[in-house]
């Protein structure tokens, strides 16, 4: 198959996908007509009107928790594939994982120094 034929197939698939998405959008617009209601524009929480303004600033102290969660979530995401490769690679894979865990440990120490683990 030549390069021009492959681009033709790719172009056809793109047009087909775009046509499918637009037809689903048109079908949804035709079937599900929306009605304007006053209650739809009111910010509500759990079915009750919110007492606070809609645009509330969140406390920045939660970013530390989020960053630590992401760091250790990534650790678990990389541990499983590493354990599969460890059997084949041996000591090199063990040293690589040691460096990876040392970097994560530095992130843990940084979070600790910033007081992320102090109870508020």
pLDDT at residue 22, as a whole number: 97
* Residue 71 belongs to some domain of the structure: yes
Tell me the pTM.
0.45
Number of domains in the chain: 2
49 located within any domain: no
Per-residue pLDDT of 90-117, as tens digits, reads 888 889 889 988 988 888 888 788 777 7
**Helix (H) / strand (E) containing 112:** helix 91-113
Asked, for residue 107, whether it belongs to a domain, the answer is: yes
pLDDT value at position 62?
A: 74
> In this structure, are 66 and 105 located in the same domain?
yes
Q: Domain containing 4: what range?
A: 1-32
Residue 50: inside a domain, yes or no? no
Whether residue 25 lies inside any domain: the answer is: yes
**pLDDT, tens digit, 9 for 90 and up, residues 32-80:** 877 777 666 666 666 666 666 666 666 666 777 787 788 788 788 888 8
């Amino acid at each position: 198959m030549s390069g021009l034929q492959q681009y033709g197939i790719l172009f056809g698939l793109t047009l087909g996908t775009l046509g499918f998405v637009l037809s689903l959008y048109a079908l949804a617009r035709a079937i599900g007509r929306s009605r304007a209601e006053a209650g739809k524009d009111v910010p509500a929480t759990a079915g009750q009107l919110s007492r606070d303004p809609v645009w509330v600033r969140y406390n920045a102290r939660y970013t530390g928790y989020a960053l630590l969660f992401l760091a250790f979530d990534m650790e678990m995401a990389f541990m499983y594939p590493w354990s599969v490769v460890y059997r084949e690679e041996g000591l090199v894979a063990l040293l690589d994982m040691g460096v990876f865990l040392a970097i994560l440990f530095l992130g843990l120490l940084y979070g600790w120094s910033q007081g992320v683990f102090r109870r508020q």
